């Protein structure tokens, strides 16, 4: 057991996977010699060589296409898209090809590709270094979509993703690469600096282990209201719940697709109330799917309308970051509204 | 700047819109095409660098002359039996295409695409490769399947989505997939397979295997970004691959000039530092020789070869297309490189290895074989009346194991 940041945990997952299976390779822009712009692949080039920590041309569509071909030919590529905001040139390869290959070929061909990509805001990243496009991918049949919220989960989920025979889009919230982030509180986002070195979820086994895809985790049990979230917002929500004093049940979804609807439904059927939180924009975001599912599964248990706290329906702003990023206060307000409402 | 000064600036830029080789009502005329004589093109060493091949990228490798004689350094010197096999495969493809198109017109299948005039490309290329080499076709290389001996009944069962369709009724006709024959699943999205093929070849090299990949794309699809990606990745990593562009002059209604930008497609390989060759796509011997050369290069570790196969799409784009609405009706007949089947037939006759009678007999027997195969295929089920795969199978293979939400949906359909 070692204390790791999320970056270190991801690197450890890649190291374990490269070590275990000669068919695994990591590839992407700057991932080889340089070790990645976020250091997630640091040292892998020295340890495993240029073939297995493979630098690529700057061509997201080409990188994913090459990984598909490699996957068809028996390799298990772990692809990095440097920012989720830059995954779009690869969309055709991901949606039309990677996601559908197994189905369209009647199971003849498939490619076990994992696509890692840093996502999310809260870092003054502006329009093209802050996006949360997970809803685009959960809409695609044939893809699994994962977003961890801490180092322990990140390593276990990433190893599962790599060993999974289905394609996985693995979103890494870059705001929490080096420590948990509790949101913009009292005017200064840095008043509560997070650090994985003192966080329980920063304790990560150095050896190989897996966390099953498709299984949510309940971080806090509560009776009054269910809070569903993932990624960076897990920590913001946790802090908001503590500040509010409300007895909320906090669920970290971890995998968005396949969704752990059993855990979600059991919680909402118990509490009768629910707030959904994500950084991504609101309209047609993943929250809409969650709310629809809950409405179908828990309609007769609901005591209040389901609320969602999300990014606004605008491109991610630079100057107005803290008006955009869902704050603890916005979460607390939503919790209170939902508690007061009675059907 | 005053209004007067602005008016004085002589703007001379003009938007150039390429013209088609012909449009309806015009007389087809290819006299402007430069067709070098057969046998004139040089054959470089396998280790040749890209710069040594510039002439080949702008030229045209031809082996069969107008009299059906094989000439020059690219003559692959194939046995008569090998060539008769090639001719038989091409005739089989044509008979299959004719039958399937007719069945589409009778409403027995929803869609079809012929490869008329392009048969030599798929057939000669497949014959020049090893069965263990991986093929990444577009939708107009059905000849590959004939060379690799895919049962015709199976191909038909796919096209009518019946209970014996290996794609379980999920794909439109002609989007074949055949893993056993190392024939990659065809996608409707153009050129996506081109860059995937490079990844496949990279993996082959990564594992130290001798298998190479071969990928095909049409002239129109070269405009897709995936083709740029494929060429760059193939060149950067020296992937063991043959990248083919089948220039059949037309992308549905759009002339090749919209993608070629007035030069050869092969010329594009030079900028990627890929040895590139333009070949007469209707010349079975030339296509075979160039492919054999490229495959040997790839196997020896010299990396990719880019091949433009210069041909003509003799019929409509698909069963949903009427070419008379955008090109002169006589264009196919005016094509100066002729018909690949006729040219190989003439060559074999010249060698004393074939005859009109044998040719006609073969055509007739293939026609009846295809008719018999069709009857067998529809005995396994038809598009309209089935039997099809069970509808619940629609939910399988989305993922390796079915997740709960799909299981729920499957139960809803099953009710």
Q: Does B200 sit within 8 Å of A109, measured CB to CB? A: no
Tell me what pLDDT residue A194 has: 78
**How far from each other are the two terminal CA atoms of chain A, in whole angstroms?**
49
Tell me what pLDDT residue A193 has: 61
Q: Where are the beta strands (DSSP E) in chain A?
A: 2-3, 24-28, 53-55, 76-80, 114-119, 144-146, 168-173, 203-204, 217-220, 225-229, 248-252, 255-257, 274-281, 307-311
DSSP 3-state of A226: strand
Q: Are A202 and A151 in contact (CB under 8 A)?
A: yes
Q: Are B56 and B276 in contact (CB under 8 A)?
A: yes
Give the number of A-B residue pairs with CB atoms closer than 8 Å: 145
Tell me what pLDDT residue B4 has: 65
Is B409's Cβ below 8 Å from some Cβ in A?
A: no
Using alpha carbons, select from A13, A292, A340, A326 the residue that is nearest to residue A163.
A13
Give dist(CA A42, CA A38) in Å, integer.
9
Q: Are A25 and B206 in contact (CB under 8 A)?
A: yes
Q: Does B199 sit within 8 Å of A69, measured CB to CB? A: yes
Q: Does B396 sit within 8 Å of A61, measured CB to CB? A: no
Residue in B closest to A57 by C-alpha: B233
Q: How far is B53 from chain A (nearest CA, A)?
A: 25
pLDDT in tens, A160-203: 999 999 999 999 999 999 999 998 755 555 455 678 999 999 99
Using alpha carbons, select from B386, B387, B409 the residue that is nearest to residue B396.
B409
What's the burial of B369, exposed, middle or buried (CB within 10 Å: 0-12/13-18/19+)? middle
Q: Does B179 sit within 8 Å of A105, measured CB to CB? A: yes
Tell me what pLDDT residue B7 has: 66
pLDDT above 80 for B272: yes
HSE (CB half, 13 Å, CA atoms) of B45? 6
pLDDT in tens, B3-29: 666 666 777 888 999 999 999 999 999
Is B236's Cβ below 8 Å from some Cβ in A?
A: yes
* Omega within 30 of 0 (cis) for the link into B412: no
Q: How far is A242 from chain B (nearest CA, A)?
A: 34
Q: Does B192 sit within 8 Å of A109, measured CB to CB? A: no
Question: How many CB atoms sit inside 10 A of residue B346's CB?
Answer: 18
What's the burial of A74, exposed, middle or buried (CB within 10 Å: 0-12/13-18/19+)? middle
Q: Which member of B197, B201, B225 has the closest CB to residue A61? A: B225
Q: Does B204 sit within 8 Å of A73, measured CB to CB? A: yes
Q: What angle do CA A81, A86, A91 make, to 5 degrees?
A: 85
Tokens of B162: 């019946």
Q: Which member of B171, B187, B398 has the closest CB to residue A96? A: B187
What would the mean pLDDT of B385-400 be, rounded to a whole number?
Answer: 97
Who contacts A306 (Cβ-Cβ below 8 Å, separation ≥6)?
Answer: A273, A274, A275, A276, A291, A294, A295, A338
Instruction: Give one DSSP letter per residue of A18-69, joined into a string.
Output: HHH-TTEEEEETT-STT--TTSTTTTHHHHH-TTTEEE--S-HHHHHHHHHH
Give dist(CA B237, CA B232) in Å, integer.
9
Q: Does B398 sit within 8 Å of A141, measured CB to CB? A: yes
Give dist(CA A279, CA B269) in Å, integer.
45
Give dist(CA B277, CA B50) in Å, integer.
10
Backbone φ, ψ for residue A27 (5° rounding): -150, 150
Q: Which member of B175, B200, B207 has the closest CB to residue A72? A: B200
pLDDT in tens, B95-137: 999 999 999 999 999 999 999 999 999 999 999 999 999 999 9
Q: How far is B186 from chain A (nearest CA, A)?
A: 8
Q: Where are the beta strands (DSSP E) in A148-215?
A: 168-173, 203-204
* Omega within 30 of 0 (cis) for the link into B387: yes
Tell me what pLDDT residue B11 has: 75
DSSP 3-state of B408: helix
Residue in B closest to A22 by C-alpha: B207
Tell me what pLDDT residue B5 has: 65
Tell me what pLDDT residue A165 has: 98
CB contact residues (below 8 A), chain B span 337-396, against chain A: 396
Residues of chain A with pLDDT under 50: 190
Q: Which member of A51, A65, A142 has the closest CB to residue B229? A: A65
Looking at beta carbons, which residues of chain B come within 8 Å of A76?
Answer: none
Question: How many CB atoms sit inside 10 A of residue A327's CB?
Answer: 18
Q: Does B202 sit within 8 Å of A69, measured CB to CB? A: yes
The answer to whether A129 is a known catalytic residue is yes
Looking at beta carbons, which residues of chain B come within 8 Å of A25?
Answer: 206
Q: Which member of B189, B200, B228 has the closest CB to residue A73? A: B200
Using alpha carbons, select from A195, A188, A171, A174 the residue that is nearest to residue A122.
A174
In chain B, the percentage of residues whose pLDDT exceeds 90 is 96
Q: How far is A186 from chain B (nearest CA, A)?
A: 42
Partners of residue A26 on adjacent β-strands: A53, A78
Q: Does B192 sit within 8 Å of A65, measured CB to CB? A: yes
What are the helix (H) ranges across B66-191?
A: 80-105, 119-128, 143-147, 152-159
Q: Does B404 sit within 8 Å of A261, measured CB to CB? A: yes
Question: What is the CA A100 to chain-centroid distance, rounded?
Answer: 22
For A192, left (φ over 0), alpha (ψ -120 to 50), or beta?
Answer: beta
Who contacts A123 (Cβ-Cβ below 8 Å, separation ≥6)?
Answer: A129, A130, A174, A175
Q: The complex's ipTM?
A: 0.96
What are the helix (H) ranges across B237-390?
A: 257-260, 266-271, 284-299, 331-334, 340-350, 356-379
Looking at beta carbons, which residues of chain B come within 8 Å of A258?
Answer: 399, 403-405
Looking at beta carbons, which residues of chain B come within 8 Å of A57?
Answer: 232-233, 236
Give dist(CA A261, CA A239) in Å, integer.
25
Give dist(CA B44, CA B48) in Å, integer.
6
CB contact residues (below 8 A), chain B span 155-174, against chain A: 165-168, 170-171
Q: Does B199 sit within 8 Å of A166, measured CB to CB? A: no
What would the mean pLDDT of B180-202 be, rounded to a whole number?
Answer: 98
- The greatest distance separating any two alpha carbons of chain B, rounded to the nearest whole angstrom, comes to 82
Strand-strand pairing, A2-3 and A203-204: antiparallel
Tell me what pLDDT residue A183 has: 87
Is B177's Cβ below 8 Å from some Cβ in A?
A: yes
Is B403's Cβ below 8 Å from some Cβ in A?
A: yes
DSSP 3-state of B73: coil
Tokens of A227: 């809070």
pTM over 0.95: yes
Q: Does A51 sit within 8 Å of B206, measured CB to CB? A: yes
Tell me what pLDDT residue B3 has: 65
Q: Does B178 sit within 8 Å of A144, measured CB to CB? A: no
Tokens of B269: 């390989």
Tell me what pLDDT residue B393 has: 97
- Residue pointed to by tokens 């729920």: B408
Using alpha carbons, select from B154, B172, B273, B263 the residue that is nearest to residue B219.
B263
| Rg of chain A in Å (alpha carbons) | 20
Give dist(CA B246, CA B306) in Å, integer.
11
DSSP 3-state of B226: helix
Write down the mean pLDDT value for chain B: 96
pLDDT in tens, B68-103: 999 999 999 999 999 999 999 999 999 999 999 999
Looking at beta carbons, which residues of chain A come within 8 Å of B213?
Answer: 69
Count the helices and strands in chain B (H runs, E runs): 15, 7
CB contact residues (below 8 A), chain B span 202-231, against chain A: 202-204, 206-207, 213, 225-226, 228-230
Looking at beta carbons, which residues of chain B come within 8 Å of A73?
Answer: 134, 199-200, 203-204, 207
């Amino acid at each position: 057991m070692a204390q790791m940041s999320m970056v270190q945990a991801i690197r450890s997952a890649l190291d374990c996977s490269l070590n275990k299976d000669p068919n695994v390779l990591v590839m992407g822009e700057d991932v080889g010699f340089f070790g990645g712009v976020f250091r997630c692949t640091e040292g892998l080039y020295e340890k495993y060589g240029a073939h297995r920590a493979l630098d690529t041309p700057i061509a997201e569509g080409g990188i994913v296409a090459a990984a598909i071909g490699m996957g068809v030919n028996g390799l298990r590529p772990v692809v990095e898209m440097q920012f989720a905001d830059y995954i779009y040139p690869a969309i055709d390869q991901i949606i039309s090809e990677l996601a559908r290959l197994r189905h369209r070929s009647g199971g003849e061909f498939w490619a076990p590709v994992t696509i890692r990509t840093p996502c999310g805001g809260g870092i003054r990243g502006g329009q093209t270094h802050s996006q949360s496009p997970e809803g685009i991918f959960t809409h695609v049949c044939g893809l699994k979509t994962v977003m961890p919220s801490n180092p322990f989960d990140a390593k276990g989920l990433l190893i599962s993703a790599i060993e999974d025979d289905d394609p996985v889009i693995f979103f890494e919230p870059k705001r929490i690469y080096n420590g948990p982030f509790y949101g913009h509180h009292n005017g200064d986002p840095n008043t509560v600096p997070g650090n994985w070195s003192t966080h329980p979820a920063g304790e990560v086994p150095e050896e190989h282990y897996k966390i099953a895809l498709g299984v949510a985790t309940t971080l806090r049990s509560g009776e009054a209201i269910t809070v569903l979230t993932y990624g960076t917002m897990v920590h913001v929500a946790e802090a908001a719940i503590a500040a509010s004093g409300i007895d909320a049940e906090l669920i970290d979804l971890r995998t968005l697709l396949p969704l752990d609807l059993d855990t979600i439904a059991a919680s909402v059927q118990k509490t009768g109330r629910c707030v959904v939180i994500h950084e991504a924009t609101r309209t047609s975001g993943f929250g809409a799917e969650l709310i629809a599912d809950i409405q179908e599964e828990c309609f007769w248990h609901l005591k209040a309308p389901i609320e969602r706290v999300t990014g606004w329906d605008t491109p991610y702003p630079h100057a107005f970051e803290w008006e955009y990023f869902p704050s603890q206060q916005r979460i607390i307000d939503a919790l209170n509204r939902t508690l007061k409402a009675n059907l | 700047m005053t209004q007067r000064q602005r008016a004085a600036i002589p703007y001379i830029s003009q938007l150039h819109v390429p013209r088609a080789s012909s449009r309806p009502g015009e007389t087809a005329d290819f006299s402007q095409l430069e067709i070098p004589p057969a046998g004139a093109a040089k054959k470089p060493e396998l280790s040749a660098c890209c710069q040594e091949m510039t002439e080949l990228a702008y030229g045209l490798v031809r082996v069969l002359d107008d009299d059906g004689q094989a000439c020059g350094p690219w003559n692959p010197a194939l046995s008569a039996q090998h060539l008769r096999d090639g001719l038989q495969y091409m005739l089989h493809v044509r008979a299959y295409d004719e039958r399937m198109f007719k069945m589409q017109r009778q409403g027995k299948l929803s869609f079809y695409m012929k490869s008329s005039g392009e048969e030599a490309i798929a057939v000669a290329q497949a014959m020049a490769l090893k069965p263990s080499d991986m093929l990444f076709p577009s939708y107009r290389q059905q000849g590959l399947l004939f060379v690799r001996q895919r049962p015709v009944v199976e191909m038909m069962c796919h096209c009518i989505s019946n209970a014996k369709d290996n794609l379980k009724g999920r794909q439109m006709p002609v989007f074949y997939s055949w893993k056993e024959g190392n024939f990659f699943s065809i996608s409707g999205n153009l050129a996506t397979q081109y860059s995937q093929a490079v990844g496949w070849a990279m993996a082959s090299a990564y594992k130290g295997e001798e298998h190479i990949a071969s990928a095909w794309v049409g002239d129109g699809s070269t405009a897709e970004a995936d083709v740029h990606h494929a060429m760059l990745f193939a060149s950067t990593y020296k992937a063991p691959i043959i990248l083919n562009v089948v220039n059949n002059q037309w992308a549905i209604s759009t002339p090749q000039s919209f993608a070629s930008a007035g030069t050869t497609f092969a010329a594009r390989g030079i900028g990627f530092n890929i040895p590139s060759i333009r070949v007469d796509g209707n010349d079975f011997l030339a296509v075979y020789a160039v492919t054999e050369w490229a495959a040997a290069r790839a196997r020896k570790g010299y990396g990719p070869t880019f091949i433009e196969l210069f041909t003509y799409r003799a019929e409509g784009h698909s069963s949903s297309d009427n070419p008379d609405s955008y090109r002169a009706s006589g264009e196919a007949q005016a094509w100066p490189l002729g018909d690949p089947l006729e040219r190989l037939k003439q060559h074999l006759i010249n060698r004393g290895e074939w005859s009109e009678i044998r040719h006609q007999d073969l055509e007739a027997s293939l026609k009846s074989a295809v008719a018999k195969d069709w009857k067998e295929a529809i005995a396994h089920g038809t598009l309209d009346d089935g039997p099809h795969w069970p509808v619940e199978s629609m939910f399988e293979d989305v993922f390796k194991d079915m997740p709960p939400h799909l299981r729920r949906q499957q139960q809803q359909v099953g009710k």
